[in-house]
Amino acid sequence: MKGDFDFDVRRDAASAFGEQSLEAGAILPFEGRSLLAHPDWIAEAVKAQMDGWLSPNSPILIRGEARVLPLGWRGQPDGDGVTAQEILTFASRMQDAGMYFAGPWRVLDLAEQRGDSIGSYATALVASGATHVDCWAFSSSVGLALVWAGDDDAGTMSLAFHVVPVSWLSEPRAAQGVLGIDVRWSWSEVVDLWASKDAVANELAEGSQR
């Protein structure tokens, strides 16, 4: 397994969010991973209304009532990009963070057929390619989910953190079924966000030089 030093120095913003990440895979840079280790960002995620950035290295995608924080994706399994072990190591750190935020997680049953809000979210997760979900009730209104999706052998494995209504995850707070949940996303959306941010920065720099 690669050491933390190599893990950190190789995963800068350019490698994580540049065009090459669409083939090599990506994982959040150190600053982005560090932000998510503390719960302060959750309130900002809940308030977010459009795709953007919680911090310079922490993208967020809005999916109705769900906030999706892409953490990484595997890319070409035969290449020299992000490794499955790096994804798993990051996932383990996020599990530890979730325990710090909200206590032990439970595994969401993606195969169970149910007609309530939990079933609606589980159905949407399966439709997005989710294969495993750890979840927490963070507060009386906010739920958290660490979502694995895709297939490592096919080069589609991804990891994301979801901030959702607690009724989508908590048995005691489950409500009636919810229509229209869609939590699909792709790393190309993150790359586009990064390119847009770069374009704005360049325009501001050019304007200040006039």
Check: pTM over 0.75? Answer yes or no.
yes
pLDDT digits (tens, 9 = 90+) for 2-61: 444 345 556 789 889 999 999 889 999 999 999 999 999 999 999 999 999 999 999 999
For residue 2, the model assigns a pLDDT of: 41
Q: Which of the two residues, 198 and 170, has the higher pLDDT score?
A: 170
Find where tokens 């009636």 sit: 176
Contacts of 173 (CB under 8 A, 6+ apart): 137, 140, 166, 167
* Residue 206 pLDDT class (50, 70, 90 cuts): very low
For residue 12, the model assigns a pLDDT of: 86
Give the range of the structural domain holding residue 19, as residue numbers without chain letter. Answer: 4-208
pLDDT higher than threshold 70 for residue 203: no
Q: Which of the two residues, 31 and 198, has the higher pLDDT score?
A: 31
pLDDT higher than threshold 70 for residue 124: yes
Q: What is the mean pLDDT of residues 147-161?
A: 91
Q: What is the mean pLDDT of the chain?
A: 89
Q: How many domains does the chain have?
A: 1
pLDDT digits (tens, 9 = 90+) for 77-109: 666 678 888 899 999 999 999 999 999 999 999
Measured from the Cβ of residue 154, the count of other Cβ atoms closer than 10 Å reads 9
Closest CA to 75 of 150, 183, 160, 185: 150
Question: Can you state the percent helix, strand and coil of the chain, rounding each to 5?
Answer: 40, 25, 35
Pull the structure tokens for residue 49. Answer: 């209304």
Q: What is the mean pLDDT of residues 110-117?
A: 96
For residue 168, the model assigns a pLDDT of: 98
